[in-house]
Amino acid sequence: MAWDNISQIDNRTVIFRNWTNPVIGCFTWTSPNHFLFQLANCVLLIALFAPDGKKGILFMHGFFVLGFLLLSVWSWVVLCAPDFFSWNFSFMVLNAIQTLFLMYHIRPVKFCDDLEQVYVSLFQPMKIPRHLFKKLVSTDYCTLTSLHEGEAYATQGISKTDRLGLLMSGKMNVYSHNNLLHQIHEKEFIDSPEFESGVGGDEKYQVSIFAGSMCRYIFWSRHSLEYLLIKESYLANVFNIILGRDITNKLYALNEKVALRKGSRVDIRLPSVSSSLKAKQDLRKTVAGVGDESPSHAPHTIIDDTGDDEVYIDESVEDQEKEGLLNGYLRQPYFRGPSLSTCSEFSRGESPRCSINSHSSNSGIHIKM
């Protein structure tokens, strides 16, 4: 390799030139820089060891702010280089803005006491973050309201199934033709069967829901909730799980109301009952043994036409009962007891027939097998 020229710049640096590129080398080294310069680089090194996640990114940008601040002080006070200072100060400002932005997004989200209990009981075990639950319960999608004892949440045959309610405090009672089906307690959905079985929200409630005490609940309109769940796929999956579990609990609560003549219980998983569940839209009335109202006002409705035994239900509704439902409150004389029905015996070859009795002391549908 041939070298054309060697020119000495000073006593420390020599430039070697060849036909293509110059080569710079150092013969002597300066003393280490100021302590601020060393400390700033140590801080920047620590910032690069930040773990993954939002808190790790916040840690990294926070240490970057401190490191570039030290470099800015070093370049302004010790080095006296305005270009060094300008660059380091600009980096510090950018990282400070990013740090504040991250702190705003990961700030703790707090709710009122009722919503906090709902979140801890239902959504926190399913790993729903607080900011996502805050979007779910925001005023853009839901409404928070209260009911006094005896006031109606939904009226049978009148109210539309265009919403979904969640009871936060208090107790509600579900009736069908003056017969208590079951109760709704805190942290339970109010009308999950109707919401799940409905399609467009134009269907009518086949049960009446009244407040059994001072109730505080939150409800979503069907269209706004479906719009939110389309945008948030993870929330939609978790919400369907919670809703399905609530419907299952309500069905098993109704299962306790269904009894044979001998006193044994009827399992809703039996083929004769499960086929009725598939054929009917209102799950509560199907399991409890109360069929849909017939448009021709037929006195009886078959609830199971696939099994060996057919169950007939009397569905006549008095005018006074309809007037009470239209008034929107619970009339005490018609809701004295939690009874469902009593059954009369038939001759051999006939199916048992249940008649509604609002003043009966029995607490279930008794079927003679």
pLDDT digits (tens, 9 = 90+) for 197-207: 877 767 888 88
Q: Which residues contact 272 (CB under 8 A, 6 or more apart)?
A: 304, 306, 307, 308, 309
The pair of three-digit structure tokens given for residue 214, joined into one six-digit string? 């001072």
Q: What is the pLDDT of residues 310-335, one digit of tens each?
A: 333 344 444 554 445 444 444 443 33
* Radius of gyration over every alpha carbon of the chain, rounded to an integer in angstroms: 36
* CATH 2.60.120.10 correct for 113-255: yes
AA identity, residue 55: K
Higher pLDDT among residues 348 and 38, named by residue:
38
- pLDDT tens digits, 72-93: 999 999 889 999 999 999 999 9
- Of the pLDDT bands very low, low, confident and very high (cuts 50, 70, 90), residue 270 is low
Residue 233 φ/ψ region, left for φ over 0, alpha for ψ in the -120 to 50 degree band, beta for the rest: alpha
What is the pLDDT confidence band of residue 9, given thresholds at 50, 70 and 90?
Answer: very low
Q: Which of the residue ranges 25-34, 68-77, 115-124 would you say has the lowest mean pLDDT?
A: 25-34
Any idea where the domains of the chain sit in the sequence?
A: 1-28, 35-105, 113-255, 259-367
Spatial separation of the C-alpha atoms in residues 92 and 65, rounded to whole Å: 5
Name which residue leads in pLDDT, 263 or 160: 160
Model pLDDT for residues 129-159, shown as the tens digit of each residue: 998 999 999 989 999 999 999 999 999 889 8
Identify the H or E element spanning 265. Answer: none
Instruction: Classify residue 84 by burial, with Cβ atoms within 10 Å: 0-12, 13-18, 19+.
Output: middle
Closest among 302, 250, 294 to 272, alpha carbons compared: 302
Would you call 278 exposed, middle or buried from its count of C-beta atoms within 10 A (0-12, 13-18, 19+)? exposed
